[in-house]
Amino acid sequence: MRHDVTFPLYVEVDQIFNLACPASPTHYQFDPVQTTKTSVHGAINMLGLAKRVKAKILQASTSEVYGNPEVHPQPESYWGHVNPIGPRSCYNEGKRCAETLFFDYHRQHNLPIKVVRIFNTYGPRMHPNDGRVVSNFIVQALRNEDITIYGDGSQTRSFCYVDDLIDGMLKAMDTGEDFTGPLNLGNPSEFTMVELAEKVLRLTASKSKMVFKLLPQDDPKQRKPDIFTS
């Protein structure tokens, strides 16, 4: 069924995976007010549904709750370094508020919750115009267009294959009610953007050249999950 999570939903379910929200900066900045509403109103409506039908509910949160981190790698205990009024805030703060709602419903209503923080993920069926770095680089290379790198390319990301991410989400949902998270889900192997571009160029045998543009505001300098502590 097709439904907008910013409105209440009335169905009978046993488990809820709340993944609703655009995750690419290009897409979530297109309508930032709606992005915030999707995270906040969506969380309220899905938590209300879970409470009504006594369902276990998982929130797909994000590494963006850590902002531009001053701690590296990022453990789940880190509270983050987030700009609340910047162009990325609709997503970052929306997801942070959703986490708050999940834990308040857990404390106030004893609702069984799971919160996972998803780091950069890639895999088949990504939209060519997704706007995230892996798909951007691959599409540009296949078209022999310039590879667009923001900043000097020294900023890092850690890329998790989508099958591994889904496996982690399913396993998190299957944990006992005493485990709530938050839980980092991602790959602890770290790449600079230049290293990623070089790998894509090598694998595609592309004639593309790397071009460097100004770094967007609040773009994180580092991103790497600590998946060994909690």
CATH of the domain at 141: 3.40.50.720
Mean pLDDT of 18-42: 96
Domain annotation covers residue 199: yes
Domain annotation covers residue 227: no
Domain annotation covers residue 7: no
From CA 55, how far away is CA 49, in angstroms rounded?
8
229 pLDDT above the threshold of 80 = no
In sequence order, the 6+-apart residues with CB closer than 8 A to the CB of 188 are 73, 158, 224, 225, 226, 227, 228
Domain annotation covers residue 165: yes
Q: Within 13 Å, how many C-alpha atoms sit on residue 210's CB side?
A: 16
230 confidence band (pLDDT: 50, 70, 90): low
From CA 25, how far away is CA 130, in angstroms rounded?
9
Domain annotation covers residue 1: no
pTM over 0.85: yes
Domain annotation covers residue 28: yes
Mean pLDDT of 116-140: 93
Mean pLDDT of 21-29: 92
Give the domain range for residue 40. Answer: 15-213
131 confidence band (pLDDT: 50, 70, 90): confident
pLDDT, residue 22, reads: 93
Marked catalytic residue, from 10, 28, 78, 91: 91
Number of domains present in the structure of the chain: 1
Domain annotation covers residue 2: no
Tokens of 180: 């709530």
Tokens of 208: 């593309």
96 pLDDT above the threshold of 70 = yes
Look up residue 146 and give its amino acid: D
φ/ψ of residue 117, rounded to 5: -105, 110
Residue 91 is a catalytic residue: yes
Tokens of 201: 């160029």
φ/ψ of residue 71, rounded to 5: -120, 135
In 64-209, beta strands by DSSP E: 113-118, 121-122, 147-150, 156-157, 160-161, 183-185, 191-192
Q: Which residue has the tokens 């005493």?
A: 178
Tokens of 77: 């205990």
228 pLDDT above the threshold of 90 = no
Domain annotation covers residue 220: no
